[in-house]
């Protein structure tokens, strides 16, 4: 008898990661040969829109099959001959100039031989049919995405090679989706490294995870990032909520009525959509407009949410038209301060479905803590009308090398006015002098903070200050650790300058005394 052999083992996650990583690397290597692309800043958006269309086609095939089994009518978001399977699915499909014409031109000969709109023109002009909410919503997303996308590849043959490579990704496999999501995030980090200043919309994953963990959004609560960037907060929040799903109704709630965002820049908007799709959110609800474009007084209860997690842009300046949407005594060009007012306005006044107060976790630059004038008035409102229960002071360099600005995390809720503010100073790990691109902050470093969060007590890292004391001091939230040595990196600029001058004068006086003693020696 022939000897029985064991069935081959299923690929391990590591093997899958290696094969997918190799596939994506091959696609990027092909792109390096194209004269129209300039570095990863161009290559990643190209990979993203191609994967986006492949993903949508895989998703629509799956949904069509499910509808057939349930004897329900299926309405596609993208119709033939613009579906991936029509023009990209076959390795021997259109290529060269014919492929470029189909993708780029307003009108062309389509893959089925008929004349009509080119791919991008068709996608940019998609509108809802009014027949089905899901397909209509997806069409709006597709149209918005492709209004901000361009095909920068100039070789239709290289483009075909890239498409053939990405055909190897199976978006219907949950294992591959999970692995691809992780690989995609690593590519986002690479793009941040390549983009320099334009990478301002990224937040270190460890900080995002900390903010989601302690805010603990619950299924049934609505969650918003009004400055979503590439979707880091929304992805982490979605994963946190997904762990709470137990039933089909729970899944529907998570998919349709839980996670929301806004991002006005075309590239991060596209990356955000793809990031969320890869992590399992079927129809991301991301507003492509500026969250600050609405008059603050017009934001009512229907516009409010239960949880806000965000890192608003630092140092940006808004035009006069945007500033005019805010109360006259709190108008400013500083983007971060306008977002702070928006966040306060958009939190529900009443407890959430989970019985907890609406709450926010916000990254702010150090200047927000000690700022006066308009900034002080905004902080006074925050202390009087919200419960600013915690300020986490992050060590310098957490956002390095992308910004050297010291940063803090504000945690506040709608449980009533602030009685006292807890401060927690996160220290650098023992032996570390700073963070770098290759050695960033790790989530595990926040273990002590997370343990302290639920059982608060004053320690060498944690202290509290009465709200009345903060208000009496002009709303200055820049309080240093009373048990630590002076950290001049957290001082306001004027105090920092005075501190340096005082030390220099002290040194000069000591050196003068030493000189006198030396001159008196025989």
Region 350-371: mean pLDDT is 93
Band the pLDDT of 318: cuts 50, 70, 90: confident
Alpha helices in 346-421 (DSSP H): 366-370, 374-385
Residue 115 pLDDT > 80: yes
Band the pLDDT of 341: cuts 50, 70, 90: very high
- The mean-pLDDT minimum among 26-30, 252-256, 505-509, 511-515 falls in 505-509
Q: Any residues with CB less than 8 A from the CB of 327 and at least 6 apart, and which? A: 296, 297
C-alpha to C-alpha distances, 137 to 52, 75, 284, 358, nearest whole angstrom: 16, 12, 9, 28
**357, 477, 472: which is closest to 421 by C-alpha?**
477
**How remote is the C-alpha of 22 from its chain's centroid?**
26
- Answer whether 422's CB lies under 8 Å from 183's CB: no
Region 394-421: mean pLDDT is 88
Dist CA 398 CA 406 (whole Å):
8
Alpha helices in 105-197 (DSSP H): 119-124, 133-147, 156-166, 174-195
Kindly report, residue by residue over 100-110, the tens digit of the pLDDT.
999 999 999 99
C-alpha to C-alpha distances, 389 to 185, 412, 413, nearest whole angstrom: 32, 6, 8
Dist CA 77 CA 56 (whole Å):
9
- The mean-pLDDT minimum among 61-65, 280-284, 320-324 falls in 280-284
Band the pLDDT of 509: cuts 50, 70, 90: low
Band the pLDDT of 331: cuts 50, 70, 90: very high
Would you list the DSSP string of 282-330?
Answer: SS-EEE-S-GGGS-GGG--GGG-BSEEEE-PPSS-B--HHHHTTS-GGG
- The mean-pLDDT minimum among 27-31, 219-223, 394-398, 401-405 falls in 401-405
Kindly report, residue by residue over 260-311, the tens digit of the pLDDT.
999 998 878 888 888 888 888 888 899 999 999 999 999 999 999 999 999 9
Q: What pLDDT does residue 397 have?
A: 82
Q: What pLDDT does residue 418 have?
A: 98
- Distance linking the first and last C-alpha atoms of the chain: 109
Band the pLDDT of 137: cuts 50, 70, 90: confident
Dist CA 211 CA 233 (whole Å):
9
Residue 493 pLDDT > 70: no
Q: What is the mean pLDDT of the chain?
A: 86
Dist CA 171 CA 324 (whole Å):
45
Dist CA 197 CA 374 (whole Å):
27
- Answer whether 83's CB lies under 8 Å from 76's CB: yes
**360, 414, 418: which is closest to 389 by C-alpha?**
418
Dist CA 361 CA 446 (whole Å):
16
High-pLDDT (> 90) share of the chain, %: 55
Helix (H) or strand (E) holding 421: strand 420-425
High-pLDDT (> 70) share of the chain, %: 85
Band the pLDDT of 62: cuts 50, 70, 90: confident
Residue 259 pLDDT > 80: yes
Q: What pLDDT does residue 1 have?
A: 44
Band the pLDDT of 484: cuts 50, 70, 90: confident
C-alpha to C-alpha distances, 488 to 201, 366, 401, 480, nearest whole angstrom: 27, 12, 20, 9
- Answer whether 488's CB lies under 8 Å from 496's CB: yes
Dist CA 4 CA 118 (whole Å):
55
Band the pLDDT of 3: cuts 50, 70, 90: very low
- The mean-pLDDT minimum among 202-211, 342-351, 410-419, 506-515 falls in 506-515
Q: Hey, is 230 helix, strand or coil?
A: coil
- The mean-pLDDT minimum among 62-66, 98-102, 189-193, 309-313 falls in 189-193
Residue 117 backbone dihedrals phi, psi, to 5 degrees: -65, 145
Higher pLDDT pick, 481 / 172: 481
Q: What pLDDT does residue 191 have?
A: 67
- Where b means 16+ CB within 10 Å and e means fewer, 153-168 reads bebbebbbbbbbbbbe
Dist CA 503 CA 307 (whole Å):
45
Own/partner pairs for 288-291, CB < 8 Å, 24+ apart?
Answer: 288/144, 288/262, 288/263, 288/264, 289/262, 289/264, 290/262, 290/264, 290/322, 291/226, 291/227, 291/262, 291/264, 291/339, 291/342
Band the pLDDT of 155: cuts 50, 70, 90: very high
Q: What pLDDT does residue 122 have?
A: 96
Q: What pLDDT does residue 12 have?
A: 40
- The mean-pLDDT minimum among 181-185, 291-295, 457-461 falls in 181-185
Region 17-28: mean pLDDT is 85
Dist CA 387 CA 385 (whole Å):
7
């Amino acid at each position: 008898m022939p000897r029985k052999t064991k069935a081959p083992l299923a690929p391990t996650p590591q093997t899958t990661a290696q094969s997918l990583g190799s596939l994506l690397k091959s696609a990027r290597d092909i792109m390096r040969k194209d004269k129209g692309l300039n570095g990863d800043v161009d290559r990643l958006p190209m990979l993203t829109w191609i994967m986006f269309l492949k993903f949508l086609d895989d998703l629509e095939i799956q949904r069509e099959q499910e509808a057939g089994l349930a004897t329900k009518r299926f309405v596609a978001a993208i119709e033939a001959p613009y579906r991936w399977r029509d023009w990209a699915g076959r390795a021997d499909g259109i290529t060269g100039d014919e492929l470029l014409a189909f993708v780029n031109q307003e009108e062309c000969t389509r893959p089925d031989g008929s004349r009509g709109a080119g791919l991008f023109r068709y996608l940019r002009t998609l509108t809802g049919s009014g027949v089905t909410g899901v397909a209509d919503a997806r069409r709006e997303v597709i149209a918005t995405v492709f209004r901000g996308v361009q095909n920068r590849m100039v070789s239709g043959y290289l483009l075909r090679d890239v498409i053939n490579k990405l055909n190897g990704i199976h978006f219907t496999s949950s294992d591959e989706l999970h692995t691809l999501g992780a690989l995609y995030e690593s590519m986002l980090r690479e793009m941040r490294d390549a983009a320099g200043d334009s990478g301002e919309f990224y937040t270190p994953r460890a900080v995002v995870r900390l903010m989601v963990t302690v805010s603990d959004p619950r299924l049934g609560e609505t969650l918003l990032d009004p400055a979503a960037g590439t979707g880091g907060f929304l992805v982490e929040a979605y994963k946190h909520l997904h762990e709470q799903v137990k039933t089909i109704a729970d899944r529907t709630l998570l998919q349709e009525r839980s996670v929301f965002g806004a991002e006005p820049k075309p590239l991060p908007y596209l990356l955000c959509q793809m990031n969320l799709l890869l992590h399992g959110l079927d129809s991301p609800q991301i507003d492509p407009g500026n969250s600050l474009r609405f008059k603050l007084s017009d934001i009512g209860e229907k516009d409010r949410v239960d949880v806000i997690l965000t890192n608003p842009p630092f140092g940006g300046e808004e035009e006069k038209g945007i500033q005019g949407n805010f109360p006259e005594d709190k108008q400013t060009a500083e983007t971060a301060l306008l977002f702070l007012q928006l966040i306060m306005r958009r939190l529900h006044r009443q407890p959430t479905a989970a019985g907890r107060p609406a709450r926010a976790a916000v990254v702010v630059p150090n200047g927000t803590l000690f700022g006066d004038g308009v900034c002080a008035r905004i902080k006074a409102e925050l202390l009087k009308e919200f419960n600013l229960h915690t300020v986490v002071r992050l060590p310098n360099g957490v956002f390095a090398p992308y910004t050297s600005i010291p940063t803090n995390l504000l945690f506040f809720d709608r449980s009533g006015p602030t009685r006292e503010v807890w401060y927690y100073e996160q220290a650098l790990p023992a032996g570390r002098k700073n963070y770098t691109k290759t050695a960033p902050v790790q989530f595990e470093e926040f273990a002590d903070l997370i343990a302290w969060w639920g059982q608060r007590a004053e320690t060498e890292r944690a202290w509290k200050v009465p709200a009345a004391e903060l208000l009496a001091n002009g709303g200055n939230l820049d309080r240093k650790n009373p048990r630590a040595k002076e950290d001049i990196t957290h001082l306001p600029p004027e105090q920092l300058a005075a501190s340096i001058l005082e030390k220099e004068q002290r040194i000069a006086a000591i050196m003068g005394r030493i000189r006198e003693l030396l001159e008196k020696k025989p």
